[in-house]
Amino acid sequence: MDPLKQTFSQFKVSENFISGAPYGSGHINQTYLIKTDGSRDYILQKVNHHIFKNVPKLMDNISRVTHHLRKKIQEEGGNPDRETLTLLPTKDHQAFYQDPEGAYWRMYIFITPTRSYDIVSTPKQAFEGGQAFGRFQDLLDDLPGGPLFETIEKFHDINSRFSLFEKACALDPVNRLKDIEAERNLALKFFPDMQRVLNLGKAGKIPLRVTHNDTKFNNVLLDENDQGLCVIDLDTVMPGYIHYDFSDAIRTATNTAAEDEKDLSKIHCNLALLEAFTRGFLGKVGHKLNPSEWESLPFSAKLLPFTIGLRFLTDYLNGDTYFKTRFPEHNLQRARAQFQLMQEILKLEPEIVKIVESMR
């Protein structure tokens, strides 16, 4: 039997399996679209348990988050089957299935027709995505049951990320340190300025919130008219600073080129897209932010391009053990692109301050 059909048969659904095929462009999990003979298709995902070390606790986070969102969306008169992810239980009432090889599988309703963009082309898309991420943040503000489980420890902690980078430089396990002199110098030069958000957090000036932490723009589904619909990819929803969600979305929603663009001259931050995203996002959560969060937000726009660039560079040094890659230099190319974007955003900082201040 088709292994996907076998896995699909573990879940409690009424439709029959027709076909299964890889879907999407995520870097971490294995995602499949399962077509059925019924009115509904499904997304079946194999969760990467080398990266997410405690999948049962991760799935408990996702159950809590999606149940809460479902309840709030219903109260607002929305359609929870389309506006949040819906987990299908297994036949023995679990949130996930573990196969005989030890792999973890989960299944969601396939929300269609929808679009997810790797590159944003219109301010409307950026605005709608901003609203969706802002609304997500707002609806989860009163999540009951205490803090969520930290699915990857110190995920956006820039000190920890920098230490891991230094360790990779010191070990140089696959002899690639020789390739990254320019990027290493950039990392050393910009690292001190990137500690600002973490320092504000440590000083108690900005609160930990329930944040998504992977607000890459292709993690929001827009409908066929480009209206914001549903925030997906909930593996990293856990405590974090609002800046992380803002900056990761700016990293992906405003970049005029692909995340891994080789030609650095094509990489710019589009201010119209930045303005639109920020208007959508802050329109939904601005009222919750404290003065320190407002003041530091514009300076955090460059943080995630730096952090993710540093993570790509570290993975390059480590021999590409974390992110999926398509060719040997892929992580290096991605790191170069992200560092370029970080510097492009830095050039626009005075304008970004004006944009954020105008929304206060």
Cα three-residue angle 111-239-188, rounded to 5 degrees: 105
**CA Rg value for the chain:** 20
Among 10, 137, 219, 247, the residue binding ligand GN1 under the rule CB under 6 A is 219
Taking the C-alpha atoms of residue 81 and residue 230, their distance in angstroms, rounded to an integer, is: 10
Q: For the CB of residue 230, give the shortest distance to ligand ADP in the complex, in Å.
A: 7
Closest CA to 3 of 16, 26, 19, 25: 19
From 50-58, 105-113, 180-188, 205-213, give the range in contact with ligand ADP by CB under 6 A: 105-113
User: Based on CB atoms, which residue is closest to ligand GN1, 269 or 308?
Assistant: 308
Whole-number minimum distance, CB 45 to ligand ADP, in Å? 6
Among 158, 232, 313, 335, binds ligand ADP (CB under 6 A): 232
Q: Classify strands 42-47 and 17-22 as parallel, antiparallel or unpaired.
A: unpaired
Residue 277: name the closest of 252, 242, 240 by CA: 252
Binding flag, residue 305, ligand GN1 (CB under 6 A): no
**C-alpha separations of 124 from 83, 132, 274, 292 in Å:** 18, 12, 11, 29
Contacting ligand ADP (CB under 6 A), which of 31, 63, 94, 343? 31
Q: Is the peptide bond before 113 cis (omega within 30 degrees of 0)?
A: yes
Stretch that binds ligand ADP, among 110-118, 129-137, 175-183, 315-323 (CB under 6 A): 110-118
Inter-residue contact 258 to 118 (CB < 8 Å)? yes
Contact between 245 and ligand GN1 (CB under 6 A)?
no
**Measured distance CA(99)–CA(110) in Å, rounded:** 22
Q: What is the closest distance, in whole angstroms, from the C-beta atom of residue 240 to ligand GN1 in the complex?
A: 12
For Mg ion, which residue has the nearest CB? 233
The answer to whether 325 contacts ligand GN1 (rule: CB under 6 A) is no
Q: Which of 183, 233, 245, 259 is in the footprint of ligand ADP by CB under 6 A? A: 233
Q: Which region, judged by CB under 6 A, interacts with ligand GN1, from 25-33, 82-90, 117-125, 269-277? A: 25-33
Alpha carbon of residue 15 to chain centroid: 31
Taking a C-beta distance cutoff of 8 angstroms, is the pair 131, 156 a contact?
Answer: no
Candidates 14-22, 108-116, 190-198, 332-340: pick the segment binding ligand ADP (CB under 6 A): 108-116
| Residue 238 near residue 208 (C-beta atoms within 8 A) | no
Site of interaction with Mg ion (CB under 5 A): 26, 219, 233
Choose the one of Mg ion, ligand ADP, ligand GN1, none that binds residue 210, judging by a C-beta under 5 to 8 angstroms depending on kind. Answer: none
Q: Phi first, then psi: give them for residue 108, nearest 5 degrees.
A: -125, 155
Closest C-alpha to 234, from 17, 62, 42: 62
Report if residue 28 touches ligand ADP, rule: CB under 6 A: yes
Contact positions vs ligand GN1 (CB under 6 A): 26-28, 51, 214, 216, 219, 233, 235-236, 259, 308
Contact positions vs ligand ADP (CB under 6 A): 23-24, 26, 28-29, 31, 43, 85, 108, 110-111, 114, 116, 218-219, 221, 232-233
